[in-house]
Structure 1
Amino acid sequence: MEKIFRSLLFKVCCGIAFGISIGLAAPENIMRLLITFKTLFANFLGFSIPLIMMGLIMPSIAELGKSAGKLLLITVGIAYSFTLFSGFSTYLVGESLFPTLLQGEQLSNIGKDAEAIRPFFTIEMPPITDVMTSLVLSFIIGIGLSVREESTLSQMIKEFGEIVKWLISKAIIPLLPYYILTIFAEISYSGQVMAIMTVFFKLIIILFAMHIVLLLIQYLIAGSIAGKNPFRSLLTMLPAYATALGTQSSAATIPVTLRQAQKLGISSKIAGFVIPLCATIHLSGSTMKITACALALMMLEGMPYDFMLFAGFVMMLGVIMVAAPGVPGGAIMAALGVLNSMLGFDERTQGLMVALYIAMDSFGTACNVTGDGAVALIVNRISKIKD
């Protein structure tokens, strides 16, 4: 029970519930206080996003390059292919189902009634650079360091990455439930809370079903290549799925995932390399959640979109996911930059994305780590390395 109460999902659910209650009954001064916090945190988050992207991407690319080899390239290629398949299939399914699923729902006016309430004060925190500049710079420095021997700059970048991970886990993630509380208080104050909650529940149900289908497809592919029974292999990986539901962390689930992967008959050398690596680079479940939630919110907001826009977004998202830290909420933190720069998400829609993502974080993480077994099966068959 203590783990449940301390989990990010429980805190976010409490934030949503308290936010709705406060928005329905709070006087204007309380709302002004909440909106003051919301504005300050949103400004801080906007300032942090370029730092987060640079601090995660630069050391990740540098470390991948230093261990470059045939096995690494195979693993990265398979993981990225699975991630792309997840993103594109999610878009195609969402474009087919969401118009009917979300028919009659509209979020474009949410928060309009609360806009008249001004914060007590605000502090501008302009980011040091824009998102695309930080992304390009991260690739240049990361790739440059990957072809060099250990240097002073490499150590500095690594330490910078550790500071950014600390910023995410100790400052941003703990404040997210309060930020979400203020968002839902604002929505509730505008009198449209039922619309957004209806959307939440519909998306959670359909995404859970899509996660199961994705895992079946991954194991059918892996089973056909490795000559294994896909259903038996998937059942073998279920302890990792269950563990990830509780931890909400790919990194924390590595010991269980590794044990179950070896039960599939995968070489301990392959499993010991692929499973820890995939905990970082293979996030098919997270990509599915982000793509589906982004598409649904754009439909509800009346924002223009097409296949080409999402094609670029999914391909970039697959790269960004490589840098996502294996902590609860890490993937959505890494993705906020491209949501803003490529899809045009503002402060409010980013906040809704965070709330939607974390509400389903356990299922996405479980999908990620369970799919790692499928990647390991394919790599084991291609490499033919034995213990």
Structure 2
Amino acid sequence: MTNETGAAAAAIRFPCAACGGAMAFDTESQNLKCQYCGDEQQIDSVAGEQKEHAFDDANEDLDALHDWGTAQRAVHCEACGGETLIPGGQTTSTCVFCGSPKVLLEDNVRSIRPESVIPFRLSREEALTSFAKWKKKRWFLPNAFKKQDVRSELNGIYIPYWTYDTETYSVYSAEVGIYHYRTVTRTRVVNGKTETYTDTERYTVWHHANGDYDRSFDDILVPASGHYDGKLLDKLGDFDLGQLHGYAPEFLSGFISERYNVSREEGWGQAQEVADGTLDDEIRDIIGGDEIRNLRIRTNYEDITYKHLLLPVWNASYTYKSRPYYYMVNGQTGTVSGHVPRSAIKITLFTLMCLAIAGAAAIIILSQQSTATGT
């Protein structure tokens, strides 16, 4: 089904060869489809067709990197700070993120074009269905909200991401603790009498460890959005990057693309943090032991490459009891992430239940301790 959103009027358009009408990307056929006569046009792009760019290549053709295949204008929202890209020569009067009319148009956009894209797989109706199923599974939502048919304003938006590949070589050193056990004699009072008993005591023996570790990283995914909450985007992160297509402007027809606000240098900094965390976990596994302290890791990053991706997201806003909320739906998988109203009654009942369980557990523990000491 063809995307039909309020953002479509400001999106990239391609004329139909049969009738001259506007064609837009169709989520069902994965082709361009005329909105008037239904004629289809196949998009000349091959899955998996992408090029990695060297991160520090000073001789790279920058003009080619900025060629989106169509002229672009940036739209900046003064209300929420969101930035999107629309074709040159077209205008828009509202922000696709928050609906605010306070938007500014900028020409001569110099943004690195995407190297690849995952096209939308879910139609607007399918995204609404995913949200309806998702909200029914949220226990803390008001029952009235769960049952009602929420009227959402959906916009299909391509969210910018960076991916990074790199080869790493790490050297590490640490102190490793191994648990040992010994039998000790202790005393206790039972029914007013002192008695001795044996117990098992744990102690730790420490020794030094060091070594080196090679690791390749492929497609460390970093959101380049300046508008969305990173935690919400993480919950949408089940994209299948094996379905990436080489970028073609036809994929954007009928949709909007967000302008990246995280530079490739900033993105690499975030990717390096992800890699450092992974190396820390894996090196700890290699070292083994029961405890590790004073772990030091020094890592060299080489052969760093990057890609700029566009990934599909349905962005939605709605109002419940005069309060605005928003959510997002992964345009490939249907995964939902967002903010929803909460039921104060359900939260209170859940809290009281947890307190009751904790109180009962405390009483049982105190009773067992009293029995053990004979008091």
Structure in which a larger fraction of residues adopt strand = 2
Q: TM-score scaled to structure 2, two decimals?
A: 0.27
* Structure in which a larger fraction of residues adopt helix: 1
Name which structure has the greater RCO, CA cutoff 8 Å, separation 6+.
1
